[in-house]
Amino acid sequence: MKPVIYLIGSLRNPEIPKIANKIREHGFEVFDDWWSASEDADDWWQHHEAGKGHSYKEAIYGHHADCVFSFDYKHLNRADIGVLVLPAGKSGHLELGYMIGRGKPGFILFDEEPGRFDVMYRFATDVCFSIEELVKGLNKLGSNHSGTVTNHLQSVS
């Protein structure tokens, strides 16, 4: 049985469902249901909270945020592997960091060669520049993927 992949990315990225389907074609279960909230979901949430006179701090601990956070948190914990699709914002990077911090493998799929390098992407199990390269890395993990991040980090220290 193949591991569950949490596909992490931006609500504004129309490539997310296409990438998820390409990974599914290789027999993986891919969680990307968060994308169905629409590209402007966060904007509407902010607008609604501002209309109620709420600050960001009040909004992030409100009922809507609690529901959305719980949904994502459940599926981040359920997944075996995280894949961050770039470009992505702060939330996506935090989600991948959470998964890696829990000892789960985490991949980064670049949409292009970065204009500005960042050495901290070495925390990831691998950085990939195509779906084919990503699937190859996912398949390398095989059915026994535990310890992959720990082993990767030990190899660089």
Please determine, for residue 150, whether its predicted confidence score (pLDDT) is greater than 70.
no
Q: What pLDDT sits at residue 10?
A: 97
Q: What is the pTM of this model?
A: 0.88
Token pair belonging to 4: 């569950």
Fold of 4-38+79-156: Rossmann fold (3.40.50)
Domain ranges of the chain: 4-38+79-156
Give the strand order in the sheet containing 29-31: 29-31, 4-8, 81-85, 106-109, 126-128
What is d(CA 100, CA 123) in angstroms, rounded to the nearest whole number? 8
Predicted confidence at residue 145, as pLDDT, reads 46
CB 99 within 8 A of CB 91: no
Please name the residue ranges forming H helices in the chain.
Answer: 16-24, 41-51, 56-60, 63-78, 90-101, 131-141, 148-156
DSSP bridge pairs for 5 = 30, 81
Confidence of residue 149 (pLDDT cuts 50, 70, 90): very low
Q: Each residue of 21-47: pLDDT tens digit?
A: 999 999 999 999 999 999 999 999 999
CB within 8 Å of 127: residues ≥ 6 apart: 107, 108, 110, 121
